[in-house]
Structure 1
């Protein structure tokens, strides 16, 4: 088999097996394959591809990370790349030359598997002191603008009128320190239900008095609202801007060094304008 034919087969093999690689990675992989064939003519094509693939993996490690099933617009299969947070995390990992497989899990399982080392990391999560006992948190990848809502036909016309009332929160959602400040400020009692949709239904049925919502949500499209005769009313005052993070276990090898590198790459896409492009893309889609 002549070398031109071998190179053509290498290209075909790479096209089939490197759909998630960058163009740069593809060229590097091809370079090492050709280098092995030219300098080690006794090796077969399969052996050459194996050696080149091993070298590529050494230069570009692969990890498995997890996120939850839905948290729009940060995790949303109806949005580009699966959501705002996914786009940012993917760009950061590209900067680090790290290939990642993203799997979707229940939120509590994503954290559990991260702590146990079954997956490398997960996102996007709010910080809490309890979580920080076992996890390292990146710099914020997104921020959630938080507002309070009530049933439109309720007696509550101001935030102050909700003092000592019942606030609904999903079971698997950890209150950030900023959200705890809201609860404490208005001396509210917390009711827990399955998820955010459940909270809206709880409020509409009068079982809770209020809930918290991020301002990127289009209320008119919420199934919980569409199924009811009444709507929810969102107060105009923003109560908090809650940061979301990428997290990894403290027990992992070189975990602090790794999260530091993640933060450096995140700062890099901040400074070179790439993050602003991603942010603006999603803001336009949501307006």
Structure 2
């Protein structure tokens, strides 16, 4: 009995119980960050798995379409979801982990389109392909709100590649790794990445504020993430997925 009590006190000191199990959801078609077909499910999936393991927490991972996963996390059917950008709308309802990774967004369009992320006037009246459930780059959000920039919202980035190829959208915006992975998967040599960045943003594990496990999940992840960075494992994981 004394040994069991001592173990429980030790677990409590680290903020995580040996019985903590978190059911978390993510989605596909977001290379190199999340996709069932990628090694370890992608970079952010491996980081989430490893960080929670560092905190001695058990992870049960589900895969759902992005919009469904977010809605079911909002309804507390999942303890959390990842990887998500911060938006004012989401911050009203969700708690955010420490950043999993920082991305730099780029504009992808047909060569000769003269669209330049550094000159927003070149985007006026154009149509962006923005997958359902994705948040627009911060500098483009006012243009979408005012109607200066039109949008189409298909289910995934692969469809955006096809829409730009077919002229049904003028461009899409995502980070360089995911954008180039999408082009490679589609064999799309008629779309190129712009030289200017649209902006940078951070990816997070998020949990609904009212969730019974939300604080425990994010604490466990944040502690584990810090341990991965201290040991050098975080850098190794990132390099493996972005080389």
Name the TM-score, length of structure 2 as normaliser.
0.80
**Distance in structure 1 (CA, Å) of the matches to 2:138 and 2:182:** 25
CA displacement at 1:179 relative to structure 2: 5.0
Which residue, 140, 165, 173 being the options, matches 2:134?
A: 173
RMSD: 2.9
Kindly indicate whether the alpha-carbon contact (under 8 Å) linking 2:183 and 2:191 is maintained by their aligned counterparts in 1.
no
Counterpart residue number, 2:77: 118
Is residue 114 of structure 2 the alignment partner of residue 156 of structure 1?
Answer: yes
Q: Residues 216-242 of structure 1, C-alpha deviation per residue, up to 9 Å, x if partnerless?
A: 1235523273xxxx6112112222222
Say which of 184, 187, 194 aligns to 1:221: 184
Corresponding pairs, count: 225
Question: Is the Cα–Cα contact under 8 Å of residues 69 and 104 in structure 1 kept in the other structure?
Answer: yes
Q: Unpaired runs of 5+ in structure 2? A: 5-16
1:28-177 matches, within 5 Å, as 59-152=18-111, 154-156=112-114, 158-159=116-117, 160=119, 162-164=122-124, 165-177=126-138
Relative to total residues, which structure has the larger helix share, 1 or 2?
A: 1
Contact 1:172 1:195 in 2 (8 A): no
Unaligned runs of 5+ in 1: 1-30, 33-57
The separation in 1 between residues aligned to 2:184 and 2:171, in whole angstroms, is 19
Structure 1 SS opposite 2:36: coil
Q: 1:254 to 1:182 in 2, by over 3 A?
A: same
Map of 1:212 onto structure 2: 173
Question: In 2, Cα distance between the equivalents of 1:262 and 1:275?
Answer: 13
| Structure 1 residues 147 and 181: CA distance shift in structure 2, 3 A | farther
Distance in 1 of aligned mates of 2:34 and 2:213: 28
Asked whether the 8 Å contact 2:33–2:43 carries over to 1, the reply is yes
Moved more, 116-125 or 215-224: 215-224
- Helix, strand or coil at the partner of 2:114: coil
Please say if residues 85 and 124 of structure 1, whose CA atoms lie closer than 8 Å, have aligned partners that are also in contact: yes
- Equivalent of 1:268 in 214, 224, 227: 227
Structure (1 or 2) with the larger CA radius of gyration: 1
TM-score, length of structure 1 as denominator length = 0.69
Which deviates more, 58-67 or 133-142?
A: 58-67
Residues 97 and 206, structure 2, Cα contact 8 Å, conserved in 1: yes
Once the two structures are overlaid, the 10-residue window that deviates more, 216-225 or 80-89, is 216-225
Between the aligned partners of 2:57 and 2:107, the Cα distance in structure 1 is: 39
Q: Tell me if structure 1 keeps the 8 A contact 2:57–2:220.
A: no
Q: Which has the higher contact order (CA 8 A, sep 6+)?
A: 2
Map 1:165-204 onto structure 2 (within 5 A): 165-177=126-138, 179-180=140-141, 188-204=149-165
* 1:213–1:174 CA distance, 2 compared to 1 (3 A): closer
